[in-house]
Amino acid sequence: MSADVIDGKAFAANLREKVGGFAAEFEKAVGRKAGLAVVLVGEDPASQVYVRSKGKATIAAGMNSYEHRLDDTASEEELLNLVEKLNSDPNVDGILVQLPLPDHLDEQNVIATIDPDKDVDGFHIINAGRLAVGQDGFVPCTPLGCLMLLQDRLGEDLSGLNAVVIGRSNIVGKPMAQLLTAANATVTIAHSRTKDLPEVVRRADIVVAAVGRSEMVKGDWIKPGATVIDVGINRVPAAEEGKTRLVGDVDYTGASEVAGAITPVPGGVGPMTIAVLLRNTMVSAYRREN
Ligand code: GUN
């Protein structure tokens, strides 16, 4: 048996197009474009690539993109002042400070300064709290994108399904577990200290792997027919000398022989993150104008 491939790239393109429709409607009704501000501190190459793609996608969806770049020697005060300026800018509906920040800057402090109602990343403690108690707020983009892919395949209501989330980060694992719980799945959070991880995964109808360890989840850990969502993006040496390739946290070849459906890397979860970011920004724009 060979698993269905969950085409996150196509799903994300569709979502971006829908968001673009709302963005056009918003502009007509309100007389301004929705706007997303992205702040990048320093020269981290991966962050530069992400920020550039976010800016491009924002403009392609018919929104304004405001990019702010600070030197890697910028002081925390400088960064906090910029965030406060964006908080009070009426044209800015969403604020994203690209992580990781240089070591001398306190990420928690910076995130705490973002207006929770412009925190389209969903990283502010207020939004984490809202998610925990089931209030409306912003949900981190990657886990929300994973939930969309799961519900597209399995239906909105995940009652009766066992889900295992591997990884307990604030950005993916914890919010993912909460979203699955809210959708009525029975959820286990597994992590580096979990005993007999293969056995825990074997019970799962839904596996979300978000550990950042290349191909750690093996094919024979997967329950036949399970839906596998691979959040990992790991760069490993390729067969060809000097080249690299991207792999997920799941052994794709092995798992796709057993699973019912699986997200590929690349082209699975990855493209969903930016699409959901645009969606969150549009939600923010409408909330702020109503
Ligand atoms: N760095 C890597 N992914 C993300 C993200 O989704 N949001 C922010 N702010 N930084 C990131």
> Residue 46's domain is classified under what CATH number?
3.40.50.10860
Ligand 1 pocket check for 65: Cβ under 6 Å: no
Measured from the CA of 142, which atom of ligand 1 is nearest? 6
Same domain, 60 and 110: yes
Q: Any idea what the Cα angle at residue 45 is, between residues 44 and 46, rounded to 5°?
A: 95
- Asked if residue 180 lies in contact with residue 204, where contact means CB atoms within 8 angstroms, the answer is no
Q: What is the percent of the chain where pLDDT is above 70?
A: 100
Measured distance CA(232)–CA(166) in Å, rounded: 11
Same domain, 154 and 253: yes
Ligand 1 mutation target, pool 39, 98, 138, most atoms within 8 A of CB: 98
Ligand 1 pocket check for 166: Cβ under 6 Å: no
Burial 115-133 (b: 16+ CB within 10 A, else e): bbbbbbbbbbebbbebbee
Burial 43-77 (b: 16+ CB within 10 A, else e): ebeebeebbeebbebbeebbbbbbebebeeebeee
pLDDT (mean) for 246-256: 98
Active-site annotation holds for 71: no
Q: Look up the CATH number of the domain holding residue 238.
A: 3.40.50.720
Residue 167 annotated in ligand binding:
yes
- Which of 99, 115, 131 terminates a domain? The answer is 115
Q: What is the ipTM of this complex?
A: 0.94
- Which of 76, 99, 115 terminates a domain? The answer is 115
Residue 290's pLDDT band (cuts 50, 70, 90): confident
Global confidence as pTM: 0.97
Q: What is the pLDDT of residues 143-152, one digit of tens each?
A: 999 999 999 9
Name which residue sits closest to atom 2 of ligand 1, judged by CA. Answer: 99
Task: Single out the residue of 184, 254, 172 nearest to residue 221, CA to CA.
Answer: 254
Distance 264 CA to ligand 1 centre (A): 20
Q: Which domain holds residue 225?
A: 141-270
Same domain, 63 and 147: no
pLDDT (mean) for 96-106: 98
pLDDT (mean) for 248-262: 98
Q: What is the pLDDT of residues 119-159, one digit of tens each?
A: 999 999 999 999 999 999 999 999 999 999 999 999 999 99
The total number of structural domains in the chain stands at 2
